[in-house]
Amino acid sequence: NDIVDEAIKGEYELRKKYEESLFGIIFNNLEQANPVRRITLSNQFRMHPVIGNFISKTYYNGIISSDLVKIESKQHGLQLPWAKGKVAVFCDVPRSCGSEYRGGKSKERRAEAERIVKLLDDLQKDPAFDHLNVGIITFYSKQVELICEVASGRGYTELDGNGSYVIKPQYQMTPDGREKLRIGSVDSFQGKEFDIVILSTVRSNNFKRIDENNLKVFGFLTLGNRLNVAFSRAQKLVITVGDRNMFSDEFAETYVKGLYEFNKLTEGEYGNRIQ
């Protein structure tokens, strides 16, 4: 459908310009104004080294080091069988569970929303979670709404007087005064940090995997800087929820490198794959 293709392309171009305005223009203007002041940081202290090294390798050509991170301060302490000692988890929701759905100009996937809320239920059962906070990130406004709707059925969210979903009071703050739970688009997480990040990828389709279809197949996931923002919000654990087959071939390596590399990371010592 040419109209849908053009709509997707238009959305992508708009977001690309927005991304460039955030990351490129300011950066370049700063360099022109004072080249000496533009510095690329060579060490990170915010994330578990496994997450830090994954992001450095995928997005910064390996130049950012995590060698100075105190690992004990970045351990989540969860004892859940699938999470214990792990830093990168891929929760596979295959297309047989239900594919993506286009609602208006955005995308949603109910099977992922339901699985994410089950993950929240799981985390609640672990005593270590009392002191941890979690950010649930997606690239699609419809998916934000759907996750909030499903979460309301489990008591995590409720409708306010304006008909918008908000986090229920008991899930708003950790004992040390940090934001306990946030559900939102990647843009609403700019500058935020969470112990655990759950990323809802949404895309699950059988479009032909040819170069000219990359936007139709992956949409906003092709924006590397936005994926980088999503992954790098996590300090201790990243859980990617989605159709893992979408991100495991050379086509994925070309157009959504971050998700391809994360999928590989979950094969290793600090990774896990669950359904």
Q: How is 165-220 classified by DSSP, letter by letter?
A: EEE-GGGSB-TTSSB-EEEEEGGGGTT--EEEEEEE----------GGGHHHHHGG
The model carries a pTM of: 0.88
Q: Is 44 left (phi over 0), alpha (psi -120 to 50) or beta?
A: beta
Every domain range in the chain assigned CATH 3.40.50.300:
71-274
Average pLDDT of adjacent 10-residue blocks, the chain of 275 residues: 50 55 49 50 91 96 93 96 98 98 92 99 98 98 98 98 96 98 95 98 97 95 95 98 98 98 98 98
Domain 71-274 has what CATH class? alpha beta
pLDDT of residue 33: 55
pLDDT of residue 34: 53
pLDDT of residue 103: 80
pLDDT of residue 9: 57
